[in-house]
Amino acid sequence: MTFRELADILGAEVVVGDDRMEDTIRGAFASDLLSDVLAFAREGALLITGITNPQVVRTAEMLELLGIVIVRGKRPDEEAIKLARAKKIPLFCTRYIMFETCGRLFKHGLSGYIE
C-alpha cells in the first residue's frame, strides 16, 4: 500500500508528506501509549495513534517509523507539524477512530507484522 492509497482509504488529510505519497507501507502499529510504541513497534512501520504532540514525532524518528496517522479527527499541534516537516516524517489525519482506521487498512492488505 502507498501513502496515496492510505489517504484515499481513510479520507485522510496529508499534513506533511506530499512528496512521499508513492512510498510503500508494509505494516503498521497502533497505540496511544508511547511506552507501548517504544516497546513493540518495528522499524519501518506506520504508526496509528491519537497522540498529537511533538513526542509522537520524536518517537517515530527514534524508531525509524515510516509515518504517522492521527485518528479521531484530532489535529497535531503546530510544533509537531514543524518537527514532522523538519524530520521528513509523513503525517496524516483521519476522522475515523483507531479501530476503524486499523480495520480499513487491514481490509486493504496492510498487516500489523513486518517481515
69-86 tens-digit pLDDT = 999 999 999 999 999 999
Residue 114 has pLDDT above 90, yes or no: no
DSSP tag of 101: H
What type of residue sits at position 85? Answer: R
- Beta pairing, strands 13-16 & 91-93: antiparallel
Report the length, in residues, of the chain: 115
Average pLDDT of the chain, as a whole number: 96
Residue 7 has pLDDT above 80, yes or no: yes
Q: Is the dihedral of CA 51, 32, 46, 111 positive or negative?
A: negative
Type of residue found at 21: M
In 3-state terms, what secondary structure has residue 41? Answer: coil
| Percent of the chain's residues with pLDDT above 70 | 98
- Taking the C-alpha atoms of residue 20 and residue 66, their distance in angstroms, rounded to an integer, is 10
> 106 pLDDT exceeds 80?
yes
Helix (H, G, I), strand (E, B) or coil at 68: strand
pTM for this model (two decimals): 0.95
